Amino acid sequence: MDLTLIVVLVIALALFFDFTNGFHDTANAMATPIATGAMRPRVAVALAAVLNLIGAFLSTEVAKTISGGIIREGSGGVQITPVLIFAGLVGAIVWNMVTWLYGLPSSSSHALFGGLIGAAIVGTGLQAIDFIVVLDKVILPALIAPFTAGVVAWGATKLAYWITRRYDGRPDGRGGFRYGQIFSSSLVALSHGTNDAQKTMGVITLTLIAAGIQEPGSGPQIWVVVACAMAIALGTYSGGWRIIRTLGRGLTEIKPAQGFAAETSTAATILASSHLGFALSTTQVASGSVVGSGLGRRGSSVRWGTAGRIGLGWLLTLPSAAIVGAAAGLLANVGPVGVAIDLVLGVAIVVYIFWRASRNRVSSANAVAPLPVQGRSDVAASGKVVKIEKVKPLKRQRPKKESA
């Protein structure tokens, strides 16, 4: 296959992944302010889109981790071709779409890493992966960050309720935290753009390096930064209502003080990790913060069934995307016919998932409707429309006259 054609194809696929990353991860910033009524749903996702766009221009450290860290391009004779990067992106996109369909807030970052690792191992062997970097920059942060964010959110929630304890018993005594949520959720959206858009920048940069268009070890070019910023912003604006439903209602009932604490903890963790070059999952951090805030409010409860399913999804994401990426890599290695089969199958899966989603549509109108408690799983319910039947009022009966 012509090198220019495959590079263009990979860039287009990478930008589509960036788009799916946007609507998959909108919930990280905006699920809690939407759930508490701090912002209207459409206003919230529009604000998140703008801040994701701005955040993408603030740093490129994470992009360098991907383009020059996890994959050993050019060292020890390892050659990662654009075809293998194409296969890795197929694995990442397929897993992202599957988890979105079921309203499961899995990690787009780990889906991307898994897809690339699977395709690279199939194409060039285990020596293609720098497992020290994977452990140091991906695995350990994935284990530590959600727990850290949860502990910080728990402490922040406790502190917020202690400071405002004189409002105990009032229905909306802490409603002022809604204004704080606008700031804290904006900070999360900004940090998401700073962290997640860079991952696609890293993939495109890796492709250009593999094709010999760019020098090894160099950072993303300005047009790559602009294109990735636009793609993630558009994806964010489309709204990931299924996952917003899970994080906003599926884990715990969120009050304004909790939402403020959770978002502040999420933003602090993500911004710190971006500065250090850690390719962190914003989804895992946001979920950990929501659970921590749920534990921090007295009388609140965490739906551990939902939390357990989300945790299982985290564990499955990297290996599942790696398996799909490896399968796509095996086909792609056949030649142009294999790449074409990969492309056709990938498009067919995406179209089918969108069709399935349209049959049980979740939108801004019903994203934060109360979840059913009995008869079905929390995560499954969070990804589907809930029909609420109106109960007819009972007719008022006149008292019967007593017989003399």
Nearest to 49 by CA among 189, 250, 219: 189
CA–CA dist 307, 320 (Å, integer):
19
Token digits of residue 157: 């929630």
Token digits of residue 211: 């094709």
pLDDT value of residue 167: 64
Is 52 in contact with 26 (CB distance < 8 Å)?
Answer: no
pLDDT value of residue 65: 58
Domain boundaries, the chain: 3-372
Cα 248–chain centre separation: 14
404 residues of the chain, pLDDT tens digit each = 678 889 999 999 999 999 998 888 888 788 888 888 888 888 989 999 999 899 888 766 665 656 556 766 655 555 678 888 899 999 999 999 999 988 888 888 889 889 989 998 888 888 878 788 788 877 887 788 888 888 988 998 888 888 877 766 654 445 677 788 888 888 888 878 877 788 888 889 888 887 888 887 777 888 998 999 999 999 988 877 888 888 777 777 778 888 888 888 888 887 777 666 666 677 888 888 888 888 887 766 778 888 888 888 888 999 999 999 999 999 998 888 999 999 999 999 999 999 998 888 887 777 766 555 444 444 444 444 444 445 455 555 555 554 44
Please list the residues that pair with 252 across neighbouring strands: 302
Is 119 in contact with 128 (CB distance < 8 Å)?
Answer: no
Token digits of residue 306: 């939902």
pLDDT value of residue 404: 42
Give one word for 123, left, alpha or beta, with left for phi > 0 and alpha for psi -120 to 50.
Answer: alpha
Is 149 in contact with 285 (CB distance < 8 Å)?
Answer: yes
pLDDT value of residue 380: 46
pTM of the model: 0.81
pLDDT value of residue 375: 43
Q: DSSP characters for 356-368?
A: HHHHT---TTTTT
